[in-house]
Amino acid sequence: MNKNQSDTIITVENLTKRFKDLTAVNSISFNVKKGEIFAFLGPNGAGKTTTIRILTTLLSPTSGEAVIDGQSVTHHPGEVRKVIGYVPQMISVDGALTAQENLMLMARLYDVPFRERQESVQRILTFLKLEKYANLLVKTFSGGMIRKLEVGQAMLNHPHVLFLDEPTAGLDPIAKRNVWQHLLELRDKFGTTILFSTHNMEEADEVCDRVAIMSAGKIAAMGPTQDLKNKVNKENATLEDAFVFFTGDHLQENGNFHEIRHLRQTMRRLG
Amino acid sequence: MLKYISQVIIKSYVMAEMEVRKLLHDPTELIMRAVQPILWLGIFGEAMSKIRAIPTEGFTYLQFITPGILTQSVTFVAVFYGLAIIWERDIGLLPKFLVTPTPRLAFVWGKMISAGIRGLSQAVIIFLFAILLRVHLLFTPISILGTVLIIMLGASFFTGLSTVIAALVKTRERFMGIGQLITLPLFFASNAIYPISIMPSWLQAVANVNPLSYMVNGLRALLVTGDLSRLPFDIMVLLVVALAISILSAYMYPKIMA
């Protein structure tokens, strides 16, 4: 697929994850290039979160292989963890700590050297325009501020690849734009590769270099958004049209009870 | 190997420090948790000492149960750490932690140390209340050091046990059920509020393998009887079970995600 190997930062081959009687991810393969913004598009239960959890070393695959920055997620998870950042779908900052403490905690877990820690944390607070709120408990923050702080936490180790699971679910349009501004800046400044999942078509269309449309554990289609739209026999086709075209318009099993509850809880919290 | 050990120590400290910071931001939890042991001492203890039904080897009943109530309070705090871990998984903190280059053992030790610190804060409150009730306890440098050590080890064991259970049952509802199911039997099948000698023999067998009994033994020797001949043995047992459960729970910890 990608001829220039040195350009590729994520290589996934025949990745499969089975839970008891459910095949969440069914033999998917794809590559992501350095500095690319790549999205998994699909409904709940399509296997997006499971794929991200395997790539971030949280779950081990049933079969297949994934390599990030030259290291296998199954054989050298410790090495992979050093070069990736992760923002889970749910809230991943501690409401009982201040913004500053949350960042400091991550800086220490990521082995940011003692001398640089204070400065890194300060730089990120400035970058995210959260300086004024540094010493407030995070439970007093709005949804957009929380998401920004989570992105900030994941930036502390200058990750080569940043994974985000539904980064803007439950955010209002302004907060959404704000979070993406920071993410795009991150890519432009440091060349960070960004891989995220979403079921928001407009979001994917706006920011992605390429998307993979996932359906029932498989990749139904993959490519630049314009290419996918061109394949639909319709004038001015949107990404949503492409999505329906490639997945068929039958209704998906919409995730399980647990996932839905998580999602709703998250939405409520992010308010 | 040396790098791994230094990573474990540094990051256990980081995780424990964050827990302590949370407590300092909002210490109401510590006060709330002190209510139960105070009721046990002030009401159950006072009432039972009037009856004089339980042989307490020449000490008052309040002297006898103060180490028992302290042990109960420490272990109950620790036993619900699994719930905190499930909660951290549910809100998304735990996956974020697991993705950092941190040894799994450090997460477990971080929790264990913070459970120990919570336990120590319980000890301070219980001791103050015991002094108020004019319970005569031995406070010497050795007895205080020994008490700190036993509380840290005991809290560690029960935190580890709780982590393993959390990794097995995975949901808050099931954990709550099991938590309730094990705490009271652990407490009653120990020498916390009556001596093992008055138990039926089958219960004696349980009490003798219950780590809670070893905590009580150690604390009672240090704070009440002053007879330290058995103390090294009690501490050894607690050390061994705490280390064993550390390793098991470090292995089980990431499984809570699946």
Pick from A85, A88, A97: CB nearest B92: A88
Residue A159: inside a domain, yes or no? no
Contact assessment for residue B175 and residue B82, using Cβ atoms and an 8 Å cutoff: yes
Task: State how far the alpha carbon of A169 is from the alpha carbons of A195, A196, A200, A212, A240, in Å.
Answer: 15, 12, 8, 19, 17
Give the tens place of pLDDT for each residue, A50-92. 999 999 999 999 999 999 999 999 999 999 999 999 999 888 8
All residues of chain B having their beta carbon less than 8 Å from the beta carbon of residue A56 are 95, 99
For residue A266, the model assigns a pLDDT of 61
Residue A105: inside a domain, yes or no? no
Residue A99: inside a domain, yes or no? no
Give the tens place of pLDDT for each residue, A195-245. 999 988 888 999 999 999 998 889 999 999 888 888 887 778 888 888 888
pLDDT band of A255, cuts 50, 70, 90: low
- The per-residue pLDDT of chain A, averaged, comes to 87
Whether B127 has a pLDDT exceeding 60, the answer reads yes
Whether B85 has a pLDDT exceeding 50, the answer reads yes
Residue A94, classed as helix, strand or coil, is coil
Nearest CA in chain A to B98: A58
pLDDT above 70 coverage of chain A, percent: 89
Nearest Cα of chain B lies from the Cα of A57 at a distance, in angstroms, of 7
State the residue range of the domain holding A261: 5-92+165-270
For residue B182, the model assigns a pLDDT of 86
Whether B176 has a pLDDT exceeding 70, the answer reads yes
Task: State how far the alpha carbon of B26 is from the alpha carbons of A133, A196, B16, in Å.
Answer: 19, 35, 16
Strand-strand pairing, A22-33 and A8-19: antiparallel
Q: What is the mean pLDDT of residues B94-121?
A: 94
Nearest Cα of chain A lies from the Cα of B65 at a distance, in angstroms, of 35
Candidates B96, B172, B251, B256: best to mutate against A (most CBs of A within 10 A) is B96
Nearest Cα of chain B lies from the Cα of A247 at a distance, in angstroms, of 27
Q: How far apart are CA A268 and CA A32, in angstroms?
A: 33
Contact assessment for residue B73 and residue B126, using Cβ atoms and an 8 Å cutoff: yes
Residue A19: inside a domain, yes or no? yes
Whether A3 has a pLDDT exceeding 70, the answer reads no
pLDDT above 90 coverage of chain B, percent: 75
Residue A124: inside a domain, yes or no? no
Q: How far apart are CA B209 and CA B205, in angstroms?
A: 7
**Domain at A263, CATH number:** 3.40.50.300
- Contact criterion met (CB < 8 Å) for A97 and B18: yes
Whether A256 has a pLDDT exceeding 90, the answer reads no
A260 vs B: CB within 8 A: no
| Residues forming beta bridges with residue A211, ordered by sequence position | A39, A223
- Residue A249: φ, ψ to 5°: -95, 20
Amino acid, res. A247: T
For residue B91, the model assigns a pLDDT of 85
All residues of chain A having their beta carbon less than 8 Å from the beta carbon of residue B11 are 108-109
**ipTM of the complex in this document:** 0.86
How many separate domains does chain A show? 1
